[in-house]
């Protein structure tokens, strides 16, 4: 783990994953970009509107027999709501994402062995062939914006970062997300899993529950 | 500090168990003034809720931002519908605690048939729906998976007649357009009174798959039957003494009769198969021995008494006996009465037999009736030496010359009498079971446009 | 119901085998078999 000092307030900022290039200082909410051993402040993150999520930074869970720990959060809003993408680190240092919305949980890994289709070629109901990973069907396409971020993240997740998120579903509980951001397009493959199956620990306490 | 994943868990780590929450405290509620009527409106789950209904004027308000835009005005003076489960009550269903946060009345646009829906919330598990349809309750979970079409066709059909998921085949029950008629509470989407959506329900009791779809998305959900008593217990409702509505069986309510028939049918087939095989075996292994053949002369249209047919041996300890009588009858009859007597014990088996055969022509053409040969079976005759004592009578013979009749006694012959009787007896309970199953299924499908118990004509 | 049918059906199967093995036949339980001549009654047309 790498520990650096916040250039704004001097507090310790932890980087648990080597893949993390961005962090939010937990004390002064400065958004920080890491360049090797240097941290540069690029802005501040405004307060979160409580959204009743049971996940928090530090929550651990299990997916396909691998333990993971949540180390960062990207909250994304679109015209009909929002969802959370929790940045997670696996035991061997690999990284993945836990997507969470309205009680649905999906765990997915970045997937590089495919050249993603162009955004313009996708419409709801179309299928995308991911080779030996199977054929996926487009469920929805949403233009979204980063509305909140915390912890450490693998890219510059400043508030207002715009992207287009395409959700696809495969056989059974398999899912995929293609994210079209300004500078890059990334593909994630994973699966939905029930809350209980994750065996979450260190969940956030929700008042009244 | 939680250890890195993969490291041994620290013993002092306290897992948060969503099932046993700490003493309940009030959730953070948010209040604002209704933009339509000014009355205070509270949101119990801000952040999760997108639209809320004002208690006093029933306007639906968008709460995603501080503009509080009105989604639909609904200045209803009185509350038309009262939910069976009050809003904000909590209950345990499917092993988890749920809070009722929203209530909707929806109806089918074509038939005006309406039902009630409760939106349930648990911050750990998300949302569920509980539907109430004339005393029948269904617990509904939205699913991300998609059922398969049973008939894969090249044409993409949004609502085929059958779908399959997890080795269950669901049959279409209803297809139509559902409309929101009435709402109270809060919702995680922008609910609009009067909004319509295409929907279809598929049933395989006690489960149901439902789809709601438009041009841009398809949402599948899985419903499971819940006994009304379970709902009453979960939410501490005043129990209904009986189903007030008495509308018979619900669309996915399990029927004990249908469940019984599902087992009775195969059992019947099993017993039927066994009896058939057994009968083929016993028929095949029957000795079918001729014990005696007797030819006697008679003068037609006279009586002859006390003919004794000489002794013969019946083998085996116990078996049946088949007596065949033949007489050359043509529009006449020949009658035998007598007994078969055991030479050792004196046990007697009385019998009567008639050979008669008639034929002729009338306005409808040629006809015939009867048979010159008459067979009679005797049940379980012990082995030993036997003889027959018979008297004969005959009548209506035109030719009165002396003629010959014959009596053949056979031992251990194959026969089908028992088989048909046992098949009949073994079929009675399944026939009853099938009748009861059908009664329930006819009632179940009575509200469906796809009722398989009604012919299309 | 299913349980009692299993018992009932099994009993019938055993009884059937026993009856067949001993030549017990349900021959004419209602006594409706032909005994005395009836003469031509209903005409069966060929």
Q: Angle, nearest 10°, between helix axes B417-444 and C2-21? A: 170
Cross-chain CB nearest to A68 (options B5, B124, B145): B5
- Extract the runs of DSSP E, i.e. beta strands, from B270-364: 289-298, 303-326, 332-342, 348-362
Tell me if B188 and A201 make a contact (CB, 8 A cut-off): no
ipTM value, please give it. Answer: 0.91
Judged by a CB distance cut-off of 8 A, whether residue B271 touches chain C is yes
Cβ within 8 Å of C, B 363-382: 364-370, 374, 376-381
Tell me if B369 and C37 make a contact (CB, 8 A cut-off): no
> What confidence score (pLDDT) does residue B76 get?
62
Distance CA B232, CA B226 (A): 10
Tell me if C5 and B264 make a contact (CB, 8 A cut-off): yes
- Summarize the confidence of residues A95-105 as an average pLDDT: 94
> What confidence score (pLDDT) does residue B214 get?
81
Tell me if B377 and C25 make a contact (CB, 8 A cut-off): yes
Counting CB pairs under 8 A, whether chains A and B reach 3 or more, is: yes
Task: Note the Cα A71 to chain centre separation in Å.
Answer: 10
pLDDT in tens, B187-207: 999 998 889 999 999 999 999
Judged by a CB distance cut-off of 8 A, whether residue A18 touches chain B is no
DSSP reduced 3-state for B329: coil
CB atoms within 10 A of CB B432: 16
Half-sphere exposure of B315 (CA within 13 A, CB side): 11
pLDDT in tens, A128-153: 998 888 899 998 899 999 999 999 99
> What confidence score (pLDDT) does residue B364 get?
84
Question: Considering only CB atoms, which chain B residues are within 8 Å of C24?
Answer: 320, 379-380, 418
Distance CA A172, CA B159 (A): 19
State how far the alpha carbon of B317 is from the alpha carbons of B386, C22, C27, in Å.
Answer: 14, 8, 19
Q: Which residue of C has its CA nearest to B370?
A: C40
pLDDT in tens, B389-417: 999 999 888 888 899 999 999 999 998 88
How big is the CA angle at A99 (ends A5 and A32), to the nearest 5 degrees?
20
**Residue closest to B346 by CA, chosen among B390, B385, B294, B306:** B385
Counting CB pairs under 8 A, whether chains B and C reach 3 or more, is: yes
Q: Which residue of B has its CA nearest to C40?
A: B358
C4/chain B closest Cα distance in angstroms? 10
B6/chain C closest Cα distance in angstroms? 52
Judged by a CB distance cut-off of 8 A, whether residue A131 touches chain B is no
Segment among A90-104, B85-99, B302-316, C28-42 with least mean pLDDT: C28-42
B313/chain C closest Cα distance in angstroms? 16
All chains having 3 or more CB pairs closer than 8 angstroms to chain B: A, C
CB atoms within 10 A of CB C31: 7
Judged by a CB distance cut-off of 8 A, whether residue B416 touches chain C is no
Tell me if A69 and B2 make a contact (CB, 8 A cut-off): yes
> What confidence score (pLDDT) does residue B209 get?
96
Residue A160, token pair as written in the block: 């207002």
Q: Which residue has the tokens 């029927």?
A: B255
Kindly report the backbone phi and psi dihedral angles of residue B232, in degrees, each rounded to the nearest multiple of 5, phi listed first: -60, -40
Distance CA B116, CA B222 (A): 17
Which residues are registered as beta bridge partners of B221?
B142, B210
> What confidence score (pLDDT) does residue B156 get?
57
Judged by a CB distance cut-off of 8 A, whether residue B141 touches chain A is no
Judged by a CB distance cut-off of 8 A, whether residue B67 touches chain A is no
Question: Considering only CB atoms, which chain A residues are within 8 Å of B27?
Answer: 206-209
Q: Which residue has the tokens 């997915």?
A: A108
Q: Which residue of C has its CA nearest to B268?
A: C9
**DSSP structural state of residue C2:** H
CA dihedral A116, A119, A124, A128 (to 10 degrees): -20
CB A47 within 8 A of CB A31: no
Q: Which helix (H) or strand (E) segment is B279 a member of?
A: helix B256-285
Question: Considering only CB atoms, which chain C residues are within 8 Å of B377?
Answer: 25, 27
CB pairs under 8 A between B and C: 125
Tell me if C27 and B374 make a contact (CB, 8 A cut-off): no
Per 3-state DSSP, chain B is made up of helix, strand and coil in percentages (nearest 5) of 15, 45, 40
Burial of C20 (C-beta count, 10 Å sphere; 0-12/13-18/19+): buried
pTM: 0.78
Q: Are strands A174-181 and A185-192 parallel, antiparallel or unpaired?
A: antiparallel
Counting CB pairs under 8 A, whether chains A and C reach 3 or more, is: no
pLDDT in tens, chain B (457 residues): 333 444 444 444 444 454 444 444 445 778 899 998 889 999 988 888 999 999 888 899 999 888 888 888 876 655 578 899 999 999 999 999 999 999 999 999 999 999 999 999 999 999 999 999 988 999 999 999 888 877 655 455 667 889 999 999 999 999 999 999 999 999 999 998 889 999 999 999 999 999 998 877 788 999 999 998 999 999 999 877 665 555 678 899 999 999 999 999 999 999 999 999 999 999 999 999 999 999 999 999 889 988 999 999 998 889 999 999 999 999 999 999 999 999 999 999 999 999 999 988 888 888 888 899 999 999 999 999 999 999 999 988 888 889 999 999 999 999 888 999 999 999 999 999 999 999 999 989 988 888 888 765 4
> What confidence score (pLDDT) does residue C7 get?
96
Q: Which residue of A has its CA nearest to B22?
A: A209
Band the pLDDT of A108: cuts 50, 70, 90: very high
Judged by a CB distance cut-off of 8 A, whether residue B272 touches chain A is no
Burial of B63 (C-beta count, 10 Å sphere; 0-12/13-18/19+): buried
Half-sphere exposure of B65 (CA within 13 A, CB side): 6
CB B387 within 8 A of CB B311: yes
Question: Considering only CB atoms, which chain B residues are within 8 Å of A205?
Answer: 16, 22
CB B123 within 8 A of CB B107: no
Cβ within 8 Å of C, B 312-371: 316-320, 331, 333, 335, 352-354, 356, 358, 360, 362, 364-370
Which residues are registered as beta bridge partners of A100?
A84, A105
All chains having 3 or more CB pairs closer than 8 angstroms to chain C: B
> What confidence score (pLDDT) does residue B363 get?
86
**Residue closest to B83 by CA, chosen among B105, B62, B63:** B105
Q: Which residue of B has its CA nearest to A83?
A: B48
**Residue closest to B194 by CA, chosen among B180, B182, B183:** B180
Kindly report the backbone phi and psi dihedral angles of residue B429, in degrees, each rounded to the nearest multiple of 5, phi listed first: -60, -45
Tell me if B377 and C44 make a contact (CB, 8 A cut-off): no
Residue B298, token pair as written in the block: 């008679």
CB B276 within 8 A of CB B226: no
Q: What's the N-to-C CA distance of chain C in angstroms?
A: 47
Distance CA B361, CA B211 (A): 71
Q: Which residue of B has its CA nearest to A57?
A: B2
Q: Are strands A135-153 and A22-24 parallel, antiparallel or unpaired?
A: antiparallel
């Amino acid at each position: 783990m790498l520990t650096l000092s916040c250039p704004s307030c001097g507090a310790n900022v932890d980087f648990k994953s080597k893949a993390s290039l961005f962090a939010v200082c937990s004390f002064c909410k400065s958004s920080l970009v890491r360049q090797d051993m240097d941290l540069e402040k690029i802005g501040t993150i405004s307060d979160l509107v409580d959204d009743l999520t049971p996940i928090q930074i530090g929550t651990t869970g299990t997916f396909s027999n691998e333990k993971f720990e949540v180390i960062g959060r990207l909250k994304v809003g679109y015209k009909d709501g929002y969802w959370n993408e929790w940045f997670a680190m696996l035991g061997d240092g690999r990284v993945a994402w836990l997507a969470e919305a309205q009680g649905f949980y999906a765990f997915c890994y970045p997937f590089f062995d495919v050249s993603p289709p162009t955004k313009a070629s996708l419409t709801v109901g179309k299928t995308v062939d991911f080779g030996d990973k199977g054929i996926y069907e487009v469920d929805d396409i949403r233009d979204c914006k980063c509305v909140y971020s915390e912890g450490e993240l693998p890219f510059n997740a400043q508030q207002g970062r715009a992207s287009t998120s395409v959700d696809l579903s495969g056989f059974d509980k398999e899912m995929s997300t293609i994210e079209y951001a300004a500078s890059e397009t990334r593909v994630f493959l994973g699966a939905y899993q029930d809350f209980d199956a994750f065996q979450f620990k260190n969940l956030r306490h929700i008042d009244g529950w | 500090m939680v250890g890195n994943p993969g490291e041994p868990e620290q013993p002092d780590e306290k897992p948060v168990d969503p099932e046993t929450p700490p003493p309940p405290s009030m959730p953070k509620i948010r209040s604002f003034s209704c933009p339509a009527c000014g009355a205070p409106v509270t949101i119990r789950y801000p952040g999760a809720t997108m639209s809320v209904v004002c208690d006093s004027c029933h306007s639906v308000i968008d709460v995603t931002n501080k503009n509080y835009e009105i989604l639909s005005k609904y200045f209803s003076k009185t509350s038309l519908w009262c939910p069976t489960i009050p809003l904000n009550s909590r209950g345990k269903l499917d092993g988890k605690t749920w809070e009722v946060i929203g209530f909707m009345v929806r109806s089918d646009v074509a038939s005006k048939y309406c039902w009630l829906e409760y939106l349930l919330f648990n911050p750990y598990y998300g949302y569920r729906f509980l539907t109430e349809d004339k005393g029948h309750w269904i617990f509904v979970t939205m699913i991300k998976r998609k059922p398969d079409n049973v008939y894969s066709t090249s044409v993409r059909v949004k609502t085929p007649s059958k779908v399959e998921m997890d080795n269950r085949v669901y049959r279409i029950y209803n297809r139509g357009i559902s409309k929101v008629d009435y709402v109270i509470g809060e919702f995680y989407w922008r609910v609009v009174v009067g909004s319509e959506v295409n929907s279809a329900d598929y049933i395989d009791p006690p489960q149901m798959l439902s789809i709601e779809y438009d041009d841009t998305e398809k949402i599948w959900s899985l419903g499971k039957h819940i006994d009304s008593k379970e709902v009453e217990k979960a939410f501490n409702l005043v129990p209904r003494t009986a189903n007030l509505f008495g509308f018979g069986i619900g669309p996915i309510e399990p029927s004990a009769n249908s469940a019984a028939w599902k087992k009775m049918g195969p059992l019947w087939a099993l017993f039927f198969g066994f009896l058939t095989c057994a009968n083929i075996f016993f028929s095949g292994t029957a000795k079918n021995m001729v014990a005696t053949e007797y030819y006697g002369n008679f003068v037609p249209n006279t009586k002859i008494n006390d003919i004794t047919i000489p002794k013969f041996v019946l083998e085996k300890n116990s078996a049946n006996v088949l007596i065949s009588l033949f007489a050359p009858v043509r529009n006449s009859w020949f009658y035998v009465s007598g007994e078969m007597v055991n030479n050792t014990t004196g046990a007697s088996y009385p019998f009567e037999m008639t050979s008669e055969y008639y034929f002729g022509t009338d306005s409808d053409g040629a006809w015939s009736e009867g048979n010159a040969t008459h067979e009679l079976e005797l049940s379980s005759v012990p082995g030993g030496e036997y003889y027959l004592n018979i008297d004969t009578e005959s009548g209506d013979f035109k030719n009165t010359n002396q003629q010959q009749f014959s009596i053949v006694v056979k031992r251990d012959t194959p026969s089908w009498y028992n088989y048909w009787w046992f098949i009949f007896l073994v079929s009675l309970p399944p026939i009853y079971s099938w009748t009861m199953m059908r009664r329930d299924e006819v009632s179940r499908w009575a509200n469906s446009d796809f009722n398989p118990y009604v012919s299309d004509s | 119901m299913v349980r009692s049918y299993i018992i009932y059906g099994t009993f019938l199967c055993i009884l059937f085998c026993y009856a067949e093995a001993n030549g017990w036949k349900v021959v004419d339980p209602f006594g409706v078999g032909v005994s005395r001549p009836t003469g031509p009654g209903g005409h069966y047309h060929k």
